[in-house]
Amino acid sequence: MTGGPTPDWMQQKERSHLGLLRLMVWISLRLGRPVGRLVLRGIALYFVLFSPKARRNGRAYLARALGRAPTWRDGYRHVLSFASTVHDRIYLLNDRFDLFDIRITGHDAVQQALDRQPGAFLVGAHLGSFEVLRAMAHQHARTPVAMLMFEDNARKINAILHAINPHAQQDVVALGHPDSMLRARDKLDAGFLVGMLADRSLANDATAECMLLGAPARFPLGPWRMAAMLRRPVFFMSGLYLGGNRYELHFELLADFSTIDRGERDAAMARAMQAYADRLSVLCRRAPYNWFNFFDFWQRT
């Protein structure tokens, strides 16, 4: 369990251009999703042609997920899947759930956990779309959701939300403050599902090694420490993009820290982290173009 060098994903500049995003919002809402998806194909092609580092890192990931050398078409499909989920945010944030076929599995287990104790953690990855969770919140109005994220990321997300829909609201608990855990606890006590992405670390984060797609990789410890200290169940949440207008929202219990004694927490955290990495591996092989990892995740030298 160590801190590490600055992760590769933090060294790459964000390609977020709010002016272009506003243009895409106008095109998509005025001219419809089919026209917007045509524009996306050009954006994805531009990214593949003019982002060589991201292309190399994407190929390294795809080789592990596919079990073979990826082709240029594989790389393009990977980028287009990412672009598609970002584009679909425009509709999801404007409550246009009628445009999508979203199948939800495992929600009953989440609801049963909430019936036993208020609040639970949803731990996801940069896999598919976390935004389709809004569909579940729309169908199950008594299940509010809050997100835990660092303040810089929260500012970027809020800017994107405002560009897409000025009236869109996202309940965010900013990390990195003395009262962050207390605020997360208050959300849980109020019956919220608290979402976290646990596949990337920040500089100097404590990490632990897990096996992912057949090779060791480092994952942040912070999400698991918080879940253990606040004694809540942790569910893996994935919103896989299946092409076209189809998504699959899936929940699976990884650990229930409410039933684990203090002296067993470290071992339970290690088991939960490996279970998370195992589940991520399974989904990466099942839907390889869904993990939007264009960084040197395995820190090759």
Does some domain include residue 27? yes
What pLDDT was estimated at residue 75? 95
In a domain, 11, yes or no: no
Does this model's pTM top 0.85? My answer is yes
Q: What range does the domain containing 235 cover?
A: 16-290
Quickly tell me which residue has 């927490």 as its tokens: 265
Q: What pLDDT does residue 47 have?
A: 87
**Amino acid in position 87:** H
**pLDDT score, position 175:** 77
pLDDT (tens digit, 9 = 90+) per residue, 81-112? 998 998 898 888 888 888 999 998 998 999 99
* First-last CA distance in the chain: 20
> Residue 77 falls within a domain, yes or no?
yes
For residue 38, count other CB atoms closer than 10 A to its CB: 11
In a domain, 162, yes or no: yes
- The whole-number pLDDT of residue 18 equals 61
User: Which regions of the chain are under pLDDT 50?
Assistant: 1, 3-16, 301
Q: Are 173 and 190 contacting, i.e. CB atoms less than 8 angstroms apart?
A: no
Q: Does 45 fall in a domain?
A: yes
- Least Cα distance to 285 among 235, 254, 240 occurs for 240
3-class secondary-structure state, position 58: helix
pLDDT score for 276: 97
**What φ, ψ does residue 209 adopt, rounded to 5°?**
-90, 135
Distance of alpha carbon 156 from alpha carbon 279, whole angstroms: 28
pLDDT at 72: 94
Give the pLDDT confidence score for residue 169 in this predicted structure. 62
* Tally of structural domains, the chain: 1
Domain-embedded: residue 301:
no
Residue 7 inside a domain? The answer is: no
* In a domain? residue 159: yes
**Over the stretch 256-291, which tens digit does the pLDDT of each residue have?**
999 888 889 999 999 999 999 999 999 999 999 999
Place of tokens 């169940």: 233
Whole-number Å distance between alpha carbons of 216 and 299: 10
